[in-house]
Amino acid sequence: MTTVSAPTLRIEALHKSFGDLEVLKGIDLAVAEHEVVCLIGASGSGKSTLLRCINLLEPIDDGRIFVAGEEITAHGVDVDRIRRHIGIVFQAFNLFPHMSVLDNVTLAPRRVLRTDRPAAEERATALLERFGLADKRLDYPDRLSGGQQQRVAIVRALAMEPRLLLLDEVTSALDPELIAEVLAVIRELAGEGMTMVIATHEMGFARDIANRVVFLDEGRVLEDGPPDRMFREPAEARTREFLQRIIEAGRL
Amino acid sequence: MARLTVGGSGRRALLIAFVSTVVFFGLIAFLVVNAPGWDQVRRQFFNWDNFFASAPGIVARFEVNVRLFLIAEVLILTLGLLVAVLRGLPGPVLFPLRLLATAYTDLFRAVPGLLVIYVLGFGVPGLRLPGVPNDPFFWGVVALTLVYSAYVSEVYRAGIDSVHPSQAAAARSLGLSQAQALRFVVLPQAVRRVIPPLLNDFIGLQKDTVLVSFIGVVEIFRQSQIRSSATFDFTPYLATALVFVLLTIPLARITDWLVAREKDRRYATSVRATGQRGRRGRFLGGGG
């Protein structure tokens, strides 16, 4: 099924409801390899739900999702195998509090990929070192600052060497002075060509880092385009309204 | 884990607590000692000659209770966990298993433990099926295991439910299977949280081992009964009670210590990691 030219992620007519509430009303989206796509939009526009659907954490109602050409929403697909290749980082970090930082990072490589402990720890330590966390590797998550915890969560996802990384408002739970260190990590990943879909409220960051900005409005992709155009001259009135509110709130 | 405190600070609070305690217990002692039947009760319950004469035999018999509750506890912790996990299994295909686990906990929490011991201890051997043991000790362990696993499975289940779903989601998002997420992420957190209530049930089990005497196991209670009826004196029961007190109080302290150590480890400063010890004391403090 895999073809050379297949985009890393392709979504076709994705629908998702929670009870009577239709959160995603037919999303179409394609993300090429090495592309960084930022999802923007008001709270409740469906950004988080979309990311959770891509990672198969939420069952979808209709539509199809392809990763590297393979349909991951097909019946009978091994979801555990799919998830190995898709990393996700959550707003609330969701580190495992009963494990040290090192064990958090090595759990999946050891249990899922069956990497032996020394090799997994060596790799994890190298990753932690790269993101300035080597001295924290024996600490438990509750001892770390929010920014450190979120960086550990990113490292934990990277340890599985995902071909696609999903970031779900990863700075929204952080104190302002801790946001920069997390954004710096994401910037570095973008520079290395990591394919990412980022739901964010940090418009300045989105403008800097994104190859493409997608504006979600009430469960639909209202418009998308390069950040320069999206932030300077959005085509849709709703997008302009949204950005105006953001500017008034001092977030751009 | 609420700590016993004077309820105030300073010398004055200490003094008030002391005086109030002396007056309170003094009053109770005064009432008991001046009761019309005190002399007879004292002879029959506090006969120190009988106490020391019966104590060695009683303590020796306690070995039977210890074997009962140690074997049963291992089985209970295993069966209870199994039932709790079965009840949490998803999907319509596994409905029969969930039904079975639910029916089991409902039934064995409803029937008084003594009745379970009777039915299994007398009833099953009464069937005289080939290969089925008729040893009352065996059936005592089985009955206690069935009764206590029902309670313990509920304790485990509460622990599992207390772990936020985002933990399982994070584990699944890394590619761990449902079973692996349960095994490595959910259960370790759940079990740590329920250690105090598990110990509570363990203490209950220790005391309920005396019920097995009713199907013919000569353990500590039966032994004190034998002593008591030989001398028309209740002091052996006092000795028996004391044995249980001496066992459970240290156990309660050990649990407190385990819980404190776990908190200490999780919230330990990075200074700890380089060799210095953190202060454990603050976690033993009230409400901590």
The minimal CB distance from B170 to the residues A80, A90, A138 is found for A90
Mutate to test the interface with A, among B167, B174, B184 (most CBs of A within 10 A): B174
CATH number of the domain to which A148 belongs? 3.40.50.300
User: Which residues lie across from A217 on neighbouring strands?
Assistant: A220
In a domain, B182, yes or no: yes
Which residues does chain B have within 8 Å of residue A83's beta carbon, measured at their own beta carbons?
172-175
What is the tens place of the pLDDT at every residue in A50-65?
999 999 999 999 999 9
ipTM score = 0.91
The minimal CB distance from B175 to the residues A84, A95, A143 is found for A84
In sequence order, what are the residues at sequence separation of 6 or more whose Cβ sits closer than 8 angstroms to the Cβ of residue A182?
A147, A150, A151, A154, A170, A171, A174
**Residue B83 and residue A31: Cα distance in Å, rounded?**
45
Give how many domains chain A has, as a whole number. Answer: 1
How distant, in Å, are the alpha carbons of B23, B32, B34, B38, B48 from that of B29?
A: 10, 5, 8, 11, 19
The minimal CB distance from B167 to the residues A88, A94, A160 is found for A94
In sequence order, what are the residues at sequence separation of 6 or more whose Cβ sits closer than 8 angstroms to the Cβ of residue B249?
none
Mutate to test the interface with A, among B162, B173, B259 (most CBs of A within 10 A): B173
Q: Nearest residue of B to residue A107 by CA position? A: B184
Which residues does chain B have within 8 Å of residue A160's beta carbon, measured at their own beta carbons?
174-175
In a domain, B35, yes or no: no
Q: Give B 155-174 residues with CB within 8 A of chain A.
A: 166-167, 169-174
**Residue A128 and residue A137: Cα distance in Å, rounded?**
7
The minimal CB distance from B177 to the residues A80, A140, A157 is found for A80
Q: Domain range holding A153?
A: 9-248
Look-up of token digits 């007879």? B40
**Residue A3 and residue B221: Cα distance in Å, rounded?**
77
CB A111 to CB B167 under 8 A?
no
Which residues does chain B have within 8 Å of residue A135's beta carbon, measured at their own beta carbons?
270
Max Cα–Cα distance, chain A, nearest Å: 56
Contact A67, A1 (CB under 8 A): no
What is the tens place of the pLDDT at every residue in A179-228?
999 999 999 999 999 999 999 988 989 999 999 999 999 999 999 999 99
B253 touches chain A (CB under 8 A): no
List the one residue out of B107, B180, B172, B97 whose CA is nearest residue B146.
Answer: B107
Q: Nearest residue of B to residue A143 by CA position? A: B267
The minimal CB distance from A142 to the residues B180, B188, B266 is found for B266
The alpha carbon of residue B57 is apart from the nearest alpha carbon of chain A, in Å, by 46
In a domain, B21, yes or no: no
Q: Give A 142-161 residues with CB within 8 A of chain B.
A: 142-143, 156-157, 160
CATH number of the domain to which B179 belongs? 1.10.3720.10
User: SS3 for A45?
Assistant: coil
**In what order do the strands lie in the sheet containing A164-168?**
A86-89, A164-168, A196-199, A36-40, A212-217, A220-225
In a domain, A1, yes or no: no
CA angle B229–B232–B236, rounded 5-degree value: 70
CB A97 to CB B189 under 8 A?
yes
Q: Give B 256-275 residues with CB within 8 A of chain A.
A: 265-270, 273
Tens place of pLDDT per residue across chain B (288 aa): 456 777 777 888 899 999 999 999 999 999 999 999 999 888 888 888 888 988 899 999 999 999 999 999 999 999 999 999 999 888 889 999 999 999 999 999 999 999 999 999 999 988 888 888 889 999 999 999 999 999 999 999 999 999 999 999 999 999 999 999 999 999 999 998 898 899 989 999 999 999 999 999 999 999 999 988 888 889 999 999 999 999 988 888 888 888 788 777 777 644 443 333 333 333 333 332
In a domain, A2, yes or no: no
In a domain, B85, yes or no: yes
pLDDT at A40 (0 to 100): 94
CB B266 to CB A84 under 8 A?
no
* CA B277 to chain CA mean position, Å: 31
Which residues does chain B have within 8 Å of residue A49's beta carbon, measured at their own beta carbons?
none
**Residue B214 and residue B209: Cα distance in Å, rounded?**
10
Mean pLDDT for the stretch of residues A120-138:
95
Q: Report CA torsion sign: A241, A242, A246, A252.
A: negative
CB A142 to CB B267 under 8 A?
yes
Look-up of token digits 């297949």? A6
Q: Nearest residue of B to residue A139 by CA position? A: B270
Length of chain A: 252
How distant, in Å, are the alpha carbons of A66, A214, A240, B81 from that of A231?
A: 29, 11, 8, 55
pLDDT at A132 (0 to 100): 92
Whether the per-residue pLDDT at A144 is higher than 50: the answer is yes
Rg (CA), chain B: 24
List the one residue out of A95, A92, A139 whose CA is nearest residue B267.
Answer: A139
CB A140 to CB B268 under 8 A?
yes
A135 touches chain B (CB under 8 A): yes
Give how many domains chain B has, as a whole number. Answer: 1
In a domain, A4, yes or no: no
